[in-house]
Amino acid sequence: MSATLPFERRRLGRSEITIPRVALGCGNFGGVGSAPELFGQGLSQDEAFELMDAAWEQGIDHFDTADAYGGGRSERMIGAWMRSRGVRPLLTTKTYNPMDAGADHGLAPDRIVRQLESSLERLGVERVDLYLAHDFDSEVPLDETFAAIERLVNAGKVASYGVSNFDAAQLEAALAAGTPQAIQNEHSLLARADEEAVLPLCERAEVSYLVFSPLAGGWLTGKYRRGEAFPAGSRMTQRPEPYAPFVSPRVFDQLEQFDRLARARGTSMAGLALAWLLADERVTQIVVGPGRTEHLAPVREAIERPLSSDERATLDEVFS
């Protein structure tokens, strides 16, 4: 049995809620994210249970999902696990994407209410701790979306809310329309666009910055090597489009240098990439989405071997 990790907790935005700096991402339970063509793939329920057990044992008590992950399968698996284990982690869920190919999507008020109710039913809970608008909807005014979510807050079905996949201008609009406490965006050594405007805005507005894809879809783990075929079953064989820009000589140069730094430090590439994020005070939480229990090992490395400011500066330079 592995020892529980000493996870620091941070305040969620301006709320009274505190969350751990690492959450378990459940986007690969019963699918690969919100892609309808991959619903039913990803982890089976038995595999998901094994992963949730291992995460809980390590002290990870915040699970992150979405209504469309696996077409609802992710939420159902989490709900079944909670009932069977008699425990209740903090829960983040989200809505925007269609629940099946051709189904409706977006942030219309009536859809928000319908989708939250269905999420609560699948999870088997009366309230979620954090509810995120999973993308920006240009067709629905944000004040209408947030008014619907705030009614759910007032009804005790949502503790706090936020946004995901918003840029700085969209986050500005969200702050003008409501009181989002968090934003969850992609951020890693290979995806740093938010450093220019989103992160400074989060600091000014006291909005928690939550990170998904902290390992850039596996690119920061050493899984993909120059001149070698992508491993079977990897993101680059299942859903390569989000990571296509990484297939370049420059990125392979950076990764080879990163590999040498990790080896010299005696840690995995993944552990070093997570430690880089945790060393950033602006990052409230990282959401890790392991495919197997052994993929949780880099979390332990990152917690137990924090980066010095000099080490972080070296990595910033490598990936500048």
Return the pLDDT at 2: 62
Question: What value does the mean pLDDT take over residues 305-311?
Answer: 96
In this structure, which amino acid lies at residue 235? R
Return the pLDDT at 194: 98
Instruction: For residue range 64-75, list pLDDT tens digits in order.
Output: 999 999 999 999
Return the pLDDT at 208: 98
Backbone dihedral region for residue 85 (phi beyond 0: left; psi -120 to 50: alpha; all else: beta): alpha
Return the pLDDT at 242: 83
Partner residues linked to 24 by β-bridges? 63, 288
Predicted confidence band of residue 1 (pLDDT cuts 50, 70, 90):
very low
Instruction: For residue range 228-283, list pLDDT tens digits in order.
Output: 888 887 878 877 888 888 989 999 999 999 999 999 999 999 999 999 999 999 99
Q: Buried (b) or exposed (e) across 218-257, using 16+ Cβ within 10 A?
A: bbbbbbbeeeeebeeebbbebeeeebeebeeeebbebbee
Instruction: For residue range 138-159, list pLDDT tens digits in order.
Output: 999 999 999 999 999 999 999 9
- Three-class secondary structure of residue 288 per DSSP: strand
The model carries a pTM of 0.95
